[in-house]
Amino acid sequence: MDDDDLPRRQGGVLAALTREPLDPLSVDELDDRIAALEAEIARVKAHKAAATSHKAVAEALFRKG
């Protein structure tokens, strides 16, 4: 089993983000936060797609050999 297949403990940053109070934020600040989180989600999804593709190529290569 590769290290990539092992579950990783969620970082303190993510946990802190989910506990951060939203009440003090203005509507504009909330919009900014949503945009930043959506951009991060897109970045993570792109990285996941690349990793999945890379893994499939590697598995196919080793099956042939």
pLDDT for position 50: 92
Q: Is the pLDDT of residue 63 over 70?
A: yes
Q: Give the range of the structural domain holding residue 42, as residue numbers without chain letter.
A: 26-65
Does 12 fall in a domain? Answer: no
User: Rounded to an integer, what distance in angstroms lies between the CA atom of residue 61 and that of residue 65?
Assistant: 7
Q: What is the pLDDT of residues 31-58, one digit of tens each?
A: 999 999 999 999 999 999 999 888 777 7
Burial class (CB in 10 A: 0-12, 13-18, 19+), 33: middle
Question: Highest-confidence range of 3-12, 22-31, 50-59, by mean pLDDT?
Answer: 22-31
Does 20 fall in a domain? Answer: no
User: Rounded to an integer, what distance in angstroms lies between the CA atom of residue 20 and that of residue 33?
Assistant: 12
Does 11 fall in a domain? Answer: no
Does 40 fall in a domain? Answer: yes
Q: Is the pLDDT of residue 1 over 60?
A: no
